[in-house]
Amino acid sequence: MNKGLDHNKRTGALLFSSLTAAALGLMSLNTNVVKADSNSGTQDTARSFNKNDNDSRVKTRVANNTVSQVNNQGVTTDNANTTAPEGNTNGTTDNADKTQNGSVELPQGNNKDSNSQTSAGNDQPETDITKNENKISTKTIKTSKWGNADESYDSDTNVLTVSGSHDKDNPTIVNTTKTLGEFLDQGGRNPDIAKVKKVIFDGYFKVVGNTMSVFISLSGLTDIEGLENVDTSEATTMFAWFSQCSSLKHVDLSHFNTSNVKNMSYMFDRCTNLEDLDLSKFDTSQVKDMSYMFAGCKSLKELDLQNFNTSQVTNMSWMFAGCESLKKLNVTSFNTTNVKDMSFMFNHCASLTNIDVHSFDTKNVENMASMFSMYYSYKSDTSSVFGWDSSLVSLDLSNFNTSKVTNMSSMFMKCTKLKDLNISSRSFNTSQVKTMNSMFNGCNKLTYLDLRNFDTANVVDMSYMFRDTNSLVGLNLSSFNTSKVQSMSQMFYLYANPEKDGKYPKLSNLRTLDISNFDMSSNGNTYDMLRGHQNLLVLKLGKGNKLVSIMGLDTPGTWLNVGKKTMQDPESSEIWSSDQLINNWKDGAKDETYVRETTITAHYQDEKGKTLAPDETYTGTYSTPYEAKVKEIPGYVLTAMPKNAKGLIGENVDDIMFIYQKPTDNGNGKTPVKAADVTVHYEDENGNQIAPNVILSGNVGDGYQTETKAISGYTLKTRPNNATGFFTSESQDVVYVYTKNDQSAKEPGKEPGQEPSDNHNNHNSSGNSKPNKNKKGTHKTNKKATKESKSTSKPNEGREQLGKSTGTNKKTRTLAQTGSDWKSQVGMLFSGASALVLSLLGVVTKRRRKE
């Protein structure tokens, strides 16, 4: 019975196993059927129907994940100008075993790996109709060739697919000047090129030679898939690769090998929405042209190019032009030794506050036109846009060698916030410059320009050179040689109607202008050269000046000739308005200085602008001294003395504002009017600062008191007379003078050669840092006494001072140390004895146990 039971159990198990296997088989069969149904007719690209396929499956002819088709008759380049791969002179590519291009020829018939059939030698365009057994649907599919690769565009999905070899070791070779979207453009008659949203590289490709402008004008492109499968190691140019891809925000170029690239000009030109760009792995050691590389990338905020090797570059013109959002730019590692053209390099980089170009070697640069200009002008078929914007506040070009530069036109044009410009070094050589047109045009925050080293002997154009430089107070042009200058039109012109345009300051600050050394023998144009200078007080003309009558001088008031007298006391034989002066001037007649009287007004007002006393006026010519007096106004007190209350007319022209306020009783009968600060200085005998300054603040009339400082190594020499005093409306300085101590003097209680003691830091000889309460410190001197009176004495102080007062010497301290060693030896002896006793006890106990 057991045997039968076992037999039944075995039979049941076998039956259960069989049923399980059958069920699994059915499940597997059903899964295959579902997959076949779900895959039928769902491809986005063009398909062909194969009647010999018993499963009625549809396979794609392009853009699938199996081996791509390759023309077995040999593929020629699709542009007559394209150079065939090296070693092939007939313009065709051979089999992968014979050539370098890596093309693979497939056998005719079925491909076992892919279960699809290929038709050898079929170069016909893809059909526009996709058909299967169940339905017929139409799609617009356009096909073409990009080098040896097939490309197709699906207008339904706006996807452009590039198909190539799926053998990584034998990629499809592309050597062509044809662009990816060229077949969609058709000379500008087809708008599809702007509709491409995605490019897919299906397979492996190697771009070689002069393949340029790959993605150019794909203005709708937002995504590139499979770009990492494009080998660029043999590419020699990347000219305009992404030019005008204005919708592209991100692109990963970390896999690009650029070691053989010689041209990167226009590479990202007008990628207006590109937000970030990591080029840290770019090898630019062979690149010679970087012109327009990032031009128009107005969404880039940061660009780190410190890894760029630019030693071979000769052209950097327009490189960053129009990068208006760029706030961080690292070009400190640039080697510019071979660069010849830097024109428009940083044009309209409107968000940069500073551009660090200290490492630039410009000895071979010939063109710097608009290099830092913030002015822009864009033209299209329908309109033109122009303007300017700037954040640049400082620029140091003291290292620039400009000995070969011939063009500096508009170099700093519309740098409207530039306050500090260093071009004063002798290396900023202008001897070869031919045009300075608009060089400083619109730099209306510059108050001073040092042009003493300017050599203008070869300059032919100075028109607009200083136009709208409203903040310049004076210009030293004594070194200017203008014998070859042909135009000075609007050279110093200032915009005369500022109320209509908020971008211009209201008035000019230029006080003196000397052009008496200007040789205008070659000049045929001085139109409006001097127009708009409302505050000009001194004008010097010379024998070489001509065409003065059209210079447009319109300064208000009356001009007086100085003659043989002084500017403060002019001869005044000629008393003319501006129109009379320029119309009466006779070319080449004389050298003459004209001065104009001006008036400074002192106002006496309360804090709300209410007049409290009549104005006072001070009239005179340039450099005439003046001093405005404080008025006593009942019921009011002066808040502060104006800084320009006295000075020279011309150097100070702003109105003088005396501001008063009513007294408010703060409980002591005094008016809390803020006074000027009192600054306390601590200096040595040579005037060097030896301790930080102390600034005291208070109200007018309040007393102040300053203190000496205990300064290590110095002794007070002179106590200032104004160490104590009263706050006033004018700032005050209190100076304490110290003498340096003689360091060679022997300190009391020390042996020769012994270091000075430090009562605060030394410890006693036994290393005990606890205070000795039984001993008190003795006499303390000078600065230490001063410091210790303000702070608690340190723990060891009493012990150290006792040592000094009782004459403790080195020998005494050595004996104390010996006592400490004796205690240590006794302790060690006791420890050894204890260990011996314990050992003996152990031995006795062991013997007893044995007994």
What DSSP string describes 680-721?
Answer: EEEEETTS-EEEEEEEE--BTT-EEE------TTEEEEE--T
Residue 205 is classified by DSSP as: E
Note the pLDDT of residue 639.
84
Same domain, 653 and 682: no
Contact criterion met (CB below 8 Å) for 511 and 486: no
Structural domain contains residue 197: yes
* Opening angle at CA 421, ends 416 and 425, nearest 5: 155
Collapsing DSSP to helix, strand or coil, 774 comes out as coil
Structural domain contains residue 412: no
Residues 419-455, buried b or exposed e (16+ Cβ, 10 A)?
A: eebebebeebbbebbbbbbbbbbbbbbbeebebeebe
| CA distance to 504, 528, 529, 530, 584, per residue, from 552 (Å) | 19, 4, 6, 6, 13
φ, ψ of residue 783 to 5 degrees: the values are -70, -35
Write down which residue in 287, 316, 350 finishes a domain: 287
Same domain, 705 and 782: no
Please state, in angstroms and rounded to a whole number, the distance separating the CA atoms of residues 658 and 790: 45
Please state, in angstroms and rounded to a whole number, the distance separating the CA atoms of residues 270 and 296: 4
Please state, in angstroms and rounded to a whole number, the distance separating the CA atoms of residues 652 and 312: 53
Same domain, 772 and 815: yes
Write down which residue in 561, 580, 596 finishes a domain: 596
Collapsing DSSP to helix, strand or coil, 559 comes out as strand
| Both structure tokens of 57 | 């499956």
Collapsing DSSP to helix, strand or coil, 227 comes out as helix
User: Could you tell me which residues are beta bridge partners of residue 575?
Assistant: 560
Please state, in angstroms and rounded to a whole number, the distance separating the CA atoms of residues 82 and 425: 50
Same domain, 473 and 555: yes
What's the order of all strands across the beta sheet hosting 205-209?
Answer: 172-174, 205-209, 230-235
Note the pLDDT of residue 507.
72
Please state, in angstroms and rounded to a whole number, the distance separating the CA atoms of residues 700 and 400: 51
- The β-bridge relationship of strands 384-388 and 375-379 is antiparallel
Q: If phi over 0 gives left and psi between -120 and 50 gives alpha, with beta otherwise, what is residue 788?
A: alpha
Structural domain contains residue 5: no
| Both structure tokens of 295 | 């031009």
Collapsing DSSP to helix, strand or coil, 341 comes out as strand
Note the pLDDT of residue 101.
33
Same domain, 478 and 537: yes
Structural domain contains residue 837: no
Task: Report CA 290 to chain centroid distance, whole Å.
Answer: 19
| 775 CB burial (10 A radius; 0-12, 13-18, 19+) | middle
Contact criterion met (CB below 8 Å) for 392 and 418: yes
Task: Report CA 67 to chain centroid distance, whole Å.
Answer: 49
Residues spanned by the domain of 275: 86-105+125-287
Please state, in angstroms and rounded to a whole number, the distance separating the CA atoms of residues 434 and 428: 15
We report the CATH number of the domain holding residue 702 as 3.10.20.320
Mean pLDDT, contiguous 10-residue spans, the chain (851 residues): 46 46 43 34 32 33 31 34 34 35 33 35 37 50 94 95 96 95 80 93 96 95 97 97 96 96 98 95 97 97 95 98 96 96 98 94 98 88 83 95 97 96 93 98 92 95 96 90 96 73 64 95 92 93 94 94 95 95 91 94 94 95 93 87 90 89 66 81 92 89 88 91 85 93 58 41 38 38 38 39 38 38 49 56 53 43
Same domain, 610 and 528: no
Contact criterion met (CB below 8 Å) for 504 and 479: no
Please state, in angstroms and rounded to a whole number, the distance separating the CA atoms of residues 60 and 602: 91
Note the pLDDT of residue 829.
52
Domain total for the chain? 5
Structural domain contains residue 721: yes
Same domain, 584 and 720: no
Structural domain contains residue 344: no
Task: Report CA 152 to chain centroid distance, whole Å.
Answer: 43
Structural domain contains residue 342: no
Please provide the size of the chain in residues: 851
Q: Which amino acid is at 121?
A: G
User: Could you tell me which residues are beta bridge partners of residue 564?
Assistant: none
Helices of type H across 772-809: 782-790, 797-805
- C-alpha dihedral over 576, 580, 586, 591, to 10 degrees? 30
Write down which residue in 578, 596, 614 finishes a domain: 596
Contact criterion met (CB below 8 Å) for 435 and 456: no
> pTM for the full model?
0.64
To which residue do tokens 């003078």 refer? 737
Contact criterion met (CB below 8 Å) for 277 and 302: no
Q: If phi over 0 gives left and psi between -120 and 50 gives alpha, with beta otherwise, what is residue 744?
A: alpha
Note the pLDDT of residue 654.
84
DSSP 348-395: T-TT-SB---TT---TT--B-TTSS--EEEEE-SS-EEEEE-----EE
Residue 331 is classified by DSSP as: -
Same domain, 621 and 735: no
3-state helix, strand, coil in the chain (%, to 5): 15, 20, 65
Please state, in angstroms and rounded to a whole number, the distance separating the CA atoms of residues 644 and 653: 9
Same domain, 568 and 473: yes
Same domain, 101 and 227: yes
Half-sphere exposure of 318 (CA within 13 A, CB side): 15
φ, ψ of residue 184 to 5 degrees: the values are -90, -15
| CA distance to 49, 67, 124, 150, per residue, from 111 (Å) | 16, 8, 20, 19
Note the pLDDT of residue 665.
61
Contact criterion met (CB below 8 Å) for 324 and 296: no
What's the order of all strands across the beta sheet hosting 592-596?
Answer: 512-514, 538-541, 592-596, 559-561, 575-576
Q: How many CB atoms are closer than 10 A to CB 848?
A: 8
Residue 629 is classified by DSSP as: P
To which residue do tokens 């370098």 refer? 100
Please state, in angstroms and rounded to a whole number, the distance separating the CA atoms of residues 481 and 457: 5
Contact criterion met (CB below 8 Å) for 737 and 712: no
Residues 6+ apart with CB under 8 A from 470: 444, 494, 504, 505, 507, 508, 509
Q: Taking the CA atoms of the chain, what radius of gyration do you get in angstroms?
A: 45
Please state, in angstroms and rounded to a whole number, the distance separating the CA atoms of residues 597 and 617: 13
Q: Which amino acid is at 71?
A: N
Same domain, 611 and 479: no
E strand intervals along 334-436: 375-379, 384-388, 394-396, 420-422
* Opening angle at CA 381, ends 375 and 382, nearest 5: 85
Same domain, 760 and 612: no
Structural domain contains residue 156: yes
Please state, in angstroms and rounded to a whole number, the distance separating the CA atoms of residues 365 and 343: 9
